[in-house]
Amino acid sequence: MVCRTLFFIFNSLRRSTTLDTNLLRQFGEVLTRKKAKLNQRIVIFTFFLVVATILWYLNKLGYEYDTELAFPVRFENFPNGKVVVGEPPHHLSMRVKTYGYTLLKHKLVASISPLVIDLERTPLLQFKRSDSKFFLTAAGLRSSIASQLRGDLQLISVHPDTLFFELTSLTNRKVPVKPDLRLSFEKQHMQSAPISIEPDSVVISGPKTIIDTIAALHSQEIRLDKLTSTAEQSAVLSPIPQVAFSVRKVEVRIPVEKFTEATFSCPIDIKNLPPNIRLILLPRTVNIKCNIPLSHYSTLGSGCFEAYVDFNSIDNSLGNTIRVHTIPKKEFISNFDFEPKFVEFFIEKM
């Protein structure tokens, strides 16, 4: 009896589960059909909305508009021997009347050819009591600009209504070149002679107010690492606004070779010694240690250095000692040192 009861319950549950599954499947199919119809309606609505927008926009392009547009300009034929201080205007704002099609074309074109202002046909006007202040009026520019605009652009006005210029005399000057070098040398190597530059000076031209402030021309940075032999490099000169160069690059030569350490003695001179005084130094020489290129080793000697004491510094000396000064006389000498730094002195009156 119990088994029959359990079998009846199991069959009832199975039939109930099958019925629920069928209902869920039918409900899902209904939702899918409704979703498809909804998506179809959205697509149709979007299509007609886009078409209506395009037709409305095309209709608006046929209207005439009064608006402002920015046009690039280029000034030519400044007075002979004169240059502009600063930058002349690169754009002018113009109020124009035109159709929407032209406005759209103007905004879509990436680059527009600049309007040319020929200062021979439209001369600059000079301020009274000033040799450098000039101006142009929008009224004077109107005919020149209008003749260069497209036929479907009607010029109404130009802004600003007055353009101001400062002109100065064009001048030339020769200035030295100083390349910007960042050098490093391999071990036991060094610069063996002064760096040569060809040409070592350049003629520059531009506004006198700018040219007079330029003491030298510098190059773009040149970095050379671990040099073991003579290096030659082209150096491009760094540009200066409104200044023209006779050449734009120079050739730089850096002599490099192996070096050795050298030591030698150098006599000590006495400066500012009164005529009736004799100064006795102990010792009379200093020992100098320095690095020198191998090719110059045979020329090394006391003539490569100057060692001296200054009699005028005796009052500031410590006890009876005086400081020794040394100056290398050759450009190829580096990392020098000397001993002693101080020497004893005795004064004898003659």
Structure tokens at 67: 């608006």
DSSP 239: P
Is the domain defined by 172-254 classed in CATH 3.30.450.90?
A: no
pLDDT at 261 over 70: yes
Bridge partners of residue 82, in order along the sequence: 169
Q: Please write the tens of the pLDDT for every residue from 295-346.
A: 888 777 767 888 999 988 887 666 788 999 998 888 778 888 999 999 998 8
Looking at the chain, which residues constitute the CATH 2.170.120.40 domain(s)?
A: 172-254
Average pLDDT in the chain: 80
Q: What are the angstrom distances between the C-alpha of 83 and each of 61, 170, 207, 234?
A: 44, 6, 6, 31
Give residue 10's pLDDT: 47
Give residue 19's pLDDT: 47
- Percent of the chain exceeding pLDDT 70 equals 78
- Least Cα distance to 269 among 289, 283, 284 occurs for 284
Q: Please write the tens of the pLDDT for every residue from 277-301.
A: 888 899 999 999 988 888 888 777 7
> For residue 169, what are the contacts with CB-CB under 8 A and spacing of at least 6?
81, 82, 83, 207, 208
Q: Please write the tens of the pLDDT for every residue from 84-113.
A: 877 788 888 888 887 766 666 666 554 577
Bridge partners of residue 250, in order along the sequence: 235
* More confident position, 51 or 128: 128
Q: What are phi and psi of 15, to 5 degrees?
A: -65, -35
Looking at the chain, which residues constitute the CATH 2.170.120.30 domain(s)?
A: 259-349
pLDDT at 7 over 60: no
Give residue 3's pLDDT: 47
**Under 8 Å between Cβ of 62 and 101:** yes
pLDDT at 234 over 90: yes
Give residue 198's pLDDT: 94
* More confident position, 12 or 40: 40
Give residue 218's pLDDT: 93
Split at pLDDT 50, 70, 90, the class of 2 is very low
DSSP 229: S
* More confident position, 60 or 88: 88
- Specify the pTM: 0.55
pLDDT at 176 over 50: yes
CATH topology of domain 259-349: RNA Polymerase Alpha Subunit; Chain A, domain 2 (2.170.120)
Give residue 27's pLDDT: 52
